[in-house]
Amino acid sequence: MLLYVLDLFGVAVFAASGALAALAAKFDLLGVLVLASITAVGGGTLRNLLLNRHLIFWIKDSGPLLTVIGATVLTLLWTHFFQVPTNALLIADALGLALFAISGAQVAEKAGCQPLVVVIMGTLTGAGGGVIRDLMSARIPPESVK
């Protein structure tokens, strides 16, 4: 149960990250929801497809999608009434990356994968949604602009 709650927290954090990136890119409301969704569940979806795990977790359980919607609405409300902290996207990315890397590695380990594959699946789960978000919003992460 604790792992499920942590996964939903990771989904919420990455959904907020996607929504913030979409707002910065001046997406419309549908674009914000799509980018928040793909950011939140993209890495885990890629992991499940590569591990041949079906049904995909957010198709089997509506909890992650409801969490995406809730986090996106809260992010939109927050940005409407308050200033977005300067490092909000970086903080959301760091939290989501940590939570999803751990859960992704655990999923791969339970699937009986070799240790190197466990590490790769953890990395993919943690970073995959953010990479897709950056590609879809044509965003270059600030760390790579040096």
SS3 87: coil
Number of structural domains in the chain: 1
From first to last of its 146 residues, the chain has per-residue pLDDT tens of 777 888 899 899 999 989 999 998 999 999 999 999 999 999 999 999 999 998 899 999 999 999 999 999 999 999 999 887 777 778 877 888 888 899 899 999 999 999 999 999 999 999 999 899 999 988 877 665 55
Q: Which domain holds residue 87?
A: 2-144
Dig out the tokens for 52 from the structure: 């041949």
- How far, in Å, are 17, 45, 121 from residue 49 at the CA level? 23, 6, 11
Apex 144 CA angle, 143 and 146, nearest 5: 85
Confidence (pTM):
0.87
> Amino acid identity of 102?
I
